[in-house]
Amino acid sequence: MAAAARHLSRLFTRFNSDDRITAWHQSLYMALFYLWLSNGTQNPLQVSRKMLMDLSRIQSIVTYHKCIRELRDYGYIKYTPSYHPTLGSQVDLLLVR
């Protein structure tokens, strides 16, 4: 659990200095972080858009896709989409240094 606390502390420091990050990005990342903890801090996570939208309280599919893509582009996650209706996508949380 200490590693998770360190990750979260470093993450918020990085979020604070990254002007591109909005509350929507933070909310989506926290949903991913919760699932990562539930998964024993193991990558990758199997996720669905619906699950992440529910956990992060994002109601717009457009906002969800924008935020997940930007978290990937900004180096916070590795995202491998699945276009299969039941398999779900894979997400790796990248450790913040």
- pLDDT, tens digit, for every residue of 53-73? 999 999 999 999 999 999 999
Q: Could you tell me the CA-to-CA distances from 63 to 9, 13, 17, 31, 52 in Å, in that order?
A: 26, 24, 22, 15, 12
pLDDT at res. 53: 97
pLDDT at res. 56: 98
Report the 3 state secondary structure along the chain. CHHHHHHHHHHHHHHHHCCCCCHHHHHHHHHHHHHHHHCCCCCCEEECHHHHHHHHCCCCHHHHHHHHHHHHHCCCEEEECCCCCCCCEEEEECCCC
- Decide: pTM greater than 0.85: yes
pLDDT at res. 1: 64
Convert the pLDDT of each residue in 16-50 to its tens digit.
Answer: 999 999 999 999 999 999 999 999 988 999 999 99
Domain that holds residue 19: 2-93
Beta bridge partners of residue 93, listed in sequence order: 77
Cβ–Cβ under 8 Å, residues 59 and 53: yes
Domain count, the chain: 1
pLDDT at res. 27: 97
What CATH code is carried by the domain that includes residue 17? Answer: 1.10.10
